Chain A
Amino acid sequence: MWNATNKLALGGLTGFLFLGLTNLSWAADPPLQVSLVPYKPRLTALGLALKDLDGKTITLASLKGKVVVVNFWATWCPPCRREFPSMERLREKMSGKPVVILAVNEGENAETIEQFVSTLDLQPAFPILLDQDSGAMAFWPVRGLPTTYIVDKRGRMAYQAIGGREFDHPEIIKRINQLVREK
């Protein structure tokens, strides 16, 4: 039978060890990539309607006319954590342009996500959506985390990226700017 002190101690130990695991992965991980794989032909994007951390429902359909970066992630996924700050830098660099980033979290609650976000130097100003039952991820062709899709202004899948990316790298920004210029 665990009392509150034991639970607290276990929680602290768990957090410490999990951080250890994360740091281990960060220390030895391969570099984040900068490639995007184009869809040929571009297919109509699947639907997405999820609540954000404030309880507001966001749908992909409502973002037609904008380039949308849809990133599937979780706080326990080391490459997801590594690439997360680059999405905020991308958002800043795309400021004033019709580009939206949606970070779809898999299976975690708002508290866990907020704990992770509070550790970041750069606070994300893009919506974080809750896919608590992984319904959206099962619907989209995701096989592993992180996976990212870039949807063009007409609501079609333009690019896919499996694994961690440096989203504010000039190569990726160039591709997104090309999508912004499309009619």
Chain B
Amino acid sequence: MKMHRLALIMLAGWAASLAFSCASAATVLKGETVHIISEETGLATWETEDKGVYFRLTQISKEQAQAFMLARGMDEKSANDFAGTCVFMSVLRNDSKKPIKYCLAEWRYIPMENTPQLMLTKHDWLARWQPRNFSKPVKTAFEWSQFPVEQTFSPGDWNQGMTTYEIPPGSRFDVTYRWWQGGKLFEGTLRNVECHK
């Protein structure tokens, strides 16, 4: 019994220290957010770079997101669910001289005048859709088209994938993105990003 209590206390202490380190240890950076509108498509991009880590979001319209999923064989209801959120093509690139590691669980999006929200990952979507029994090709295409949930990038590595945000069309939000480098946690912010209308 004592042993159990001791184990429980140790576990609680470990969890608390982990939560504390994740919540408070990040060095917050203040990179400028640049906003670009494509003349070709009218869609907007927001990008920023801090300590050689480049992050960018580009709007994907509802029609584009829906068409992409339908073209991969997804059923209409699921494609509509997905396209009904704010979908962005997301790019993270390591232009620094050291490896970085990120984990989407440590990122947040913050709707204006609201509390920080957890990022919606491919696992969250697949859990919602679990009863729909997607075929293997549909599941594969969906999973790999989404921004990876965690990755380690050596200098020069980068990746691209979709991220989704559950906020109303036309509303704005910030995204805090975090990465580990040389044992330290850094946090950058992409500010005032707008969901497509």
Contact B148 A143 (CB under 8 A): yes
Contacts of B63 in A (CB 8 A): 17
**For the complex, would chain A's binding face be called helix, strand, loop or mixed by DSSP majority?**
mixed
A177: Cβ under 8 A from any B Cβ: no
Q: A33-B156, A143-B150, A162-B154 known; A27 and B41 CB under 8 Å?
A: yes
A74: Cβ under 8 A from any B Cβ: yes
Nearest Cβ on chain B to A147's Cβ, whole angstroms: 9
Q: In the complex, which of the residues B72, B136, B148, B160 contacts A78, with contact meaning CB atoms closer than 8 Å?
A: B160
B13: Cβ under 8 A from any A Cβ: no
B144: Cβ under 8 A from any A Cβ: yes
Contacts of A162 in B (CB 8 A): 151, 153-154, 157-159
B155: Cβ under 8 A from any A Cβ: yes
**Whose C-beta in chain B lies nearest to the C-beta of A164?**
B158
Contact B68 A76 (CB under 8 A): yes
**Whose C-beta in chain B lies nearest to the C-beta of A35?**
B156
A132: Cβ under 8 A from any B Cβ: yes
Per-residue CB contact flags for chain B residues 139-153 toward chain A (1 = under 8 Å, else 0) read: 011001101101101
**For the complex, would chain B's binding face be called helix, strand, loop or mixed by DSSP majority?**
mixed
**Of A18-26, A41-49, A51-59, the one with at least 4 CB within 8 A of chain B:** A18-26
Nearest Cβ on chain A to B99's Cβ, whole angstroms: 8
Contact B70 A37 (CB under 8 A): no
Complex-state Cα separation, A65 to B168, whole angstroms: 57
Size category of the A interface is 35 or more
Q: A18-B67, A25-B89, A76-B72 known; A163 and B159 CB under 8 Å?
A: yes
Contact A14 B67 (CB under 8 A): yes
Contact B89 A77 (CB under 8 A): no
Contact B140 A30 (CB under 8 A): no
Name, among A14, A17, A23, A144, the residue most crowded by chain B CB atoms within 10 Å (CB to CB): A144
- Which B152-191 residues sit within 8 Å CB-CB of chain A? 153-161
A110: Cβ under 8 A from any B Cβ: no
A28: Cβ under 8 A from any B Cβ: yes
Nearest Cβ on chain B to A24's Cβ, whole angstroms: 5
Q: A24-B41, A24-B43, A37-B157 known; A30 and B91 CB under 8 Å?
A: yes
Contact B160 A163 (CB under 8 A): yes
Contact B153 A21 (CB under 8 A): no
Contact B58 A24 (CB under 8 A): yes
List residues of chain A with CB under 8 Å of any chain B CB.
Answer: 10, 13-18, 20-21, 23-25, 27-30, 33-35, 37, 74, 76-79, 106-109, 132-134, 143-145, 160-164
Beyond the given pairs A17-B71, A20-B64, A162-B154, 9 more chain A to chain B contacts, judged by CB atoms under 8 angstroms and listed by A's residue number, are A15-B71, A18-B64, A74-B141, A76-B145, A77-B144, A107-B137, A132-B137, A134-B136, A161-B157
The 9 closest A-B CB pairs, nearest first, are A35-B156, A107-B140, A17-B67, A163-B158, A37-B154, A162-B157, A144-B148, A14-B71, A144-B159
